[in-house]
Structure 1
Amino acid sequence: MNNFTTIKKMNSVDKLSVLFFIKRTKNLLNGESPIYCRLTMNGIRSEFAVNKSVTADIWLPTAGKARGNSIEIYRLNKSLENINEKINEILRQSELQGTAINPELIRNELLGINKQYKFIVEAYEEHNSKMAALIGKQFAPKTLVRHKTSLKHLKEFIKSFYKTSDIELIKINHQFLTNYEFWLKTNTKCQHNVVVKYVKNLGKILKIARNNGWMEHDPFLNTTFKYHEVDKPFLTKEELEKIMNKSFSIPRLEKIRDVFLFCCFTGLAFIDVHDLKYEDFITGANGERWIRKKRQKTKNWSNIPILPAAQRILDKYKNDIECQINKTILPVPSNQKMNAYLKEIADLCGLNIKLTTHVARHTFATTVTLSNHVSMEAVSKMLGHSSLDMTKKYARILDHYIADEFEKIKDKY
C-alpha cells in the first residue's frame, strides 16, 4: 500500500511518497500502536494520525498494512486504501486546476482543516508598509524602491501565469520560483543578475513567512539562484588623468567632474558622498585627516585616509555658495543627474566607457589602491566591506601590477 505517486505538472515531474507506519513509542492503553500516514514530496514532509491502531506483531512495515484475514483486519486495510484513493483524487484535482500542491495542503484537505492562509502579495505589502515606516531609521529609501519594484513584478507574474491576483503562501514551492525566474527573464528587460536579485527579494518575504508560522516548508531548499560574475568597469591611470586634466567651460560639468574624482580618490559610494558631513572627518592614526563614515548600504564603517587629490577638491568647495545653502560638503546633484552629466564628460574626454558613480568606486579599488600595492585588507577596510571576498569582486588586479609582482621572482628561477 505504501507507494510513490508521480505527478506531471507544468513541465515538471514531482513524486509524492505515501507511507503508512506505526508509532511503537506511542502505544495506546490497549497495547496497540497508532497508525500514521507520512506524505513526502521534494524533501517536504507532513504526517498525521489516521485514527486507527494495530498490534505491532501483525503490522507489515514494507506493505504499509496489517496481516490477517479477519473482518477487523479487512476493514482496517480498506480504510487505509480509502485514504490512498482520497490522496490520488486530491492530486488529480490539483493537476486539472493547475494549482500548486504539497504534503501540508494534502494533509489539511484530508483532515478537513479550513485554515485561513496568508497570501504572498498580502505578506509582501505588509512588509513594504513596515519598511516605509522605518526609512531613515533602519532602511534606505532605495531599499524600499527596490522592494516596491519586486512586488510590482510579482503581482504581474501571478496575474499573468496563474490568472489570479494572489496566491496562498502554503502553495508556493520550488516550481513557483522557477516559473517566476523564467517569467522575469522573458517578460521584462531585466538581465540575469537583476532577475536573481528579485527572486532573492522574494526569498526574504518567504523567510519572514516561515518565521511567522504562515508556511512550514522552504521553497528555496536545495535550490540556488546564483549571480553571474560581471566585469566591473574602472578607469585606468591614463583615463583617470584625462578627466583630471580636462578643462571644462561649463561650470556644471566641472562640479560633476570634481565630485566624481572625489569618489575615485576616496572609494565612497554616491549616497555616502551626498550625505557626507563635517563630523565624518577625523584625525587618523597617522595624525592626518581621515573620513570615518558608516556606509548607508551596509552600515559598515569606512575608514579612509584623505589623499592630497581629494583634499584639494574639499578645499576648492570649502566656501562654495551652493554647498553652504544646501549644507553639503560638495555640490552633489541627484544620482540620475550625476550619471547623465558623467556621460557628457566621458564624451568630451574621448573615453570609451560608460561613466557612472559605481565606476569611481571601482577605480579607487583598482587603479588608485591595489595597483599601487595597497593591501587587500586595507582596501577592504576603506571600502567598508564585511569580507575580503566582497573586495575581490570590486578590486581588479591590473596587468602592470601582475608584471611588477612577477619581477620579484624572475631572478629566482
Structure 2
Amino acid sequence: MNPTRSTFGLIFFTKKANENGECRIYSRITINGKSVDLSTKRIVDKILWNSAKGMARGTSKESLEVNDYLEQFRSGVVDAYQEAIIQQKPLTPENIRNAFLGQDEAAHPFQDLFNYHNEHEKQVLAKGTMKNYYTTQDYILQFLKKSKKPAEWDISQLSYKFIADFELFLRTFKKKDDPQPLNNNGVMKHLERFKKMINMAVTIEWLDKDPFVKHKLKFNSKERGYLSEEELALVETKELKTDKLMYVRDLFLFGCYTGLSYIDAINLTANNLMIGIDKEHWLITQRQKSAKPVKLPLLPVAAELITKHRHDPRAISNGTIFRPISNQKLNDYLKDLARECGIDKNFSFHLARHTFATTVTLANGVPIETVSKMLGHTKISTTQIYAKVVERKVSEDMQALRSKLSRKTVPDGEMIILK
C-alpha cells in the first residue's frame, strides 16, 4: 500500500457507564476506512467526558490526568503507524494496534484461549460438558489447518467471515470413522460453544469487539421423544433374560419416575434421602449441570427401586444408592432394551427424563410450574420444551371444552353432524 495514499485516524470514545457512573475509554484506529477498536485500559466519570472532542472536559485533576494519558496513548499509536511506514509493513489497523501493544502482548492464538477457558471452566462445568468443548476446540484447529492458517494465528483477526467459513466447514466435514456430516443442531452447538469462548476473550480484553455480534444461531426445533403410558407399562412388565438388562431397565425406570438426569441419579447417596413436610420420602439433591436444588417427593416405583438396589455390595462399596455404570454403556444397553421391548424409539437416559415430564406428570395433571421445579429447571420455558403434553391430555382437555361449549349452543340430546 502506498503510504502517501493512505488515510489514518485515531479517536477516543466511551461505552455505557457502569453502576458507579464510570465509563471505559476506547480508541479506534482507522486506516483507509477500516478500523479496529482498542481498550485504553482507562476509565473516566461519564460527567467529565466530552464525546464530541473525545477527551475529558474541564481542568480538574482527574480530567488533566485522563487527557495527559490519552495524549501519550495517541503519540504511541502514531509512532507505531510511522514506524510501519518506514519499515514498509502492511498498513492495516490490526498491524498498527499490534505494533503499539508489542507483538508478545497482543498476540493470543486460539490455543491460548482454549487453555485459559479450560483452566477456568473445568472447575465449574461437568466432565461431559468439558468433553464437548474439547471437541469444538479440535474442530477449530482442524479448520485452521484446512484454511492454511498457522496454529498460532491471532484471535484478534477474527471476523464474521471466519465464523461463516467455520460454519460451512462444520456442515461439510466428514470424520474418517463417521462419513455422515453434522446435522444443523450439531453445527449450532459447536458454534454456541465457540461463541461462549469468544465472549470470554472479550471479557478479559483479549478482543475489543465480538465477531459474533451479527451472527445468529439457528436451531431447528424438534419434538422431544418420550414413552407413552402403554410403552412405559411394556418396559416395566417385559420379561428380560440377563441381569445386565434388568439393572439398566431399573435405572431407566428410576429416571422415568424421578426425572433425574443420568449424572444426578448415579451419584445419589443415602444422604439425599429425606422425610419431607408431608412425612413421606423425598429426594433432596442438586443438579450437577446448573447447581439448581431439586426437592422431589418419591413416587412408589422410584422408592421400590431404591430399596431394591441400595444394599447391593457394589453400590455400598461405591457409597451410592445405585452401583456404578458409565453413561455410554448405559445408553448402549438401553438400545438393547428398546429392541427387546419392540419399541422403535431412540432410547437414552434422557428419554426417561422426558417421559417423567410428559407421561408421568403433565399428562396426569401436575402443573407445569411444579414439574419445572422437580426437573430443576431455572426457567419454565425450558420445561415447556422438554414437556410436551401427550395426546391423551390434549384429548381430555378438548373433550371438556366440547362439553362446556355444547351446553351453551346445542340442545340436550342433539349432536352436530359434520358434513
The alpha-carbon distance between structure 1 residues 344 and 200, as it changes in their structure 2 partners (threshold 3 A), is same
Unmatched 5+ residue regions in structure 1?
Answer: 1-17, 24-35, 49-81, 95-100
Q: Which residue does the alignment assign to 2:243?
A: 251
Match of 1:119 among 109, 114, 119: 109
2:108 is the alignment partner of 1:108: no
Q: Which residue does the alignment assign to 2:65?
A: none
| Contact kept? 2:110, 2:155, Cα under 8 Å | yes
Q: Which residue does the alignment assign to 1:171?
A: 157
2:340 is the alignment partner of 1:348: yes
| Contact kept? 1:266, 1:306, Cα under 8 Å | yes
Q: Distance in 1 between matches of 2:212 and 2:386?
A: 28
Q: Distance in 2 between matches of 1:262 and 1:41?
A: 62
Which deviates further from its counterpart, 355-364 or 341-350? 341-350
Q: Distance in 2 between matches of 1:177 and 1:329?
A: 46
After the TM superposition, which residues 3-402 of structure 1 pair with which residues of structure 2 at under 5 Å, given as runs?
Answer: 38=30, 103=93, 105=94, 107-108=96-97, 114-116=102-104, 117-132=107-122, 134=123, 138-188=124-174, 189-402=181-394
The alpha-carbon distance between structure 1 residues 112 and 343, as it changes in their structure 2 partners (threshold 3 A), is closer
| Contact kept? 1:267, 1:364, Cα under 8 Å | yes
Write the deviation string for residues 248-279 of structure 1: whole angstroms up to 9, x where unpaired: 22111111111110000000000111100111
Write the deviation string for residues 337-385 of structure 1: whole angstroms up to 9, x where unpaired: 1111111111111111121101000000011011111111000000000
Per the alignment, in what secondary structure is the counterpart of residue 118 of structure 1?
Answer: coil
The percentage of aligned residue pairs carrying the same residue is 28
Write the deviation string for residues 77-97 of structure 1: whole angstroms up to 9, x where unpaired: xxxxx99xx8xx98xx69xxx
Residue 223 (structure 1) shift: 1.9
Unmatched 5+ residue regions in structure 2?
Answer: 1-6, 13-27, 41-80, 175-180, 406-419
Q: Distance in 2 between matches of 1:187 and 1:403?
A: 45
Q: Which residue does the alignment assign to 1:53?
A: none
Q: Distance in 2 between matches of 1:292 and 1:324?
A: 19
The alpha-carbon distance between structure 1 residues 244 and 216, as it changes in their structure 2 partners (threshold 3 A), is same
Q: Which residue does the alignment assign to 1:31?
A: none
Q: Distance in 1 between matches of 2:276 and 2:313?
A: 29
Per the alignment, in what secondary structure is the counterpart of residue 293 of structure 1?
Answer: strand
| Contact kept? 1:158, 1:166, Cα under 8 Å | no
- Could you state the TM-score of these two structures normalised by the residue count of structure 1? 0.73
Q: Distance in 1 between matches of 2:312 and 2:343?
A: 29
The alpha-carbon distance between structure 1 residues 344 and 43, as it changes in their structure 2 partners (threshold 3 A), is farther
Residue 20 (structure 1) shift: 6.7
| Contact kept? 1:255, 1:331, Cα under 8 Å | no
Q: Distance in 2 between matches of 1:41 and 1:401?
A: 61
Q: Distance in 1 between matches of 2:305 and 2:356?
A: 16
Q: Distance in 2 between matches of 1:373 and 1:307?
A: 15
Per the alignment, in what secondary structure is the counterpart of residue 239 of structure 2?
Answer: coil
> Which amino acid counterpart does residue 263 of structure 1 have in structure 2?
G
| Contact kept? 1:39, 1:46, Cα under 8 Å | no
Write the deviation string for residues 252-311 of structure 1: whole angstroms up to 9, x where unpaired: 111111111000000000011110011112222322111111101111112211001111
RMSD: 3.2
- Could you state the TM-score of these two structures normalised by the residue count of structure 2? 0.72
The alpha-carbon distance between structure 1 residues 38 and 165, as it changes in their structure 2 partners (threshold 3 A), is closer
Per the alignment, in what secondary structure is the counterpart of residue 277 of structure 2?
Answer: coil
Q: Distance in 2 between matches of 1:123 and 1:21?
A: 28
> Which amino acid counterpart does residue 108 of structure 2 have in structure 1?
K
Q: Distance in 2 between matches of 1:389 and 1:248?
A: 38
The alpha-carbon distance between structure 1 residues 130 and 19, as it changes in their structure 2 partners (threshold 3 A), is closer
> Which amino acid counterpart does residue 116 of structure 2 have in structure 1?
E
Per the alignment, in what secondary structure is the counterpart of residue 147 of structure 2?
Answer: helix
| Contact kept? 1:243, 1:349, Cα under 8 Å | yes
The alpha-carbon distance between structure 1 residues 362 and 19, as it changes in their structure 2 partners (threshold 3 A), is same
| Contact kept? 1:293, 1:302, Cα under 8 Å | yes
Q: Distance in 1 between matches of 2:221 and 2:113?
A: 32
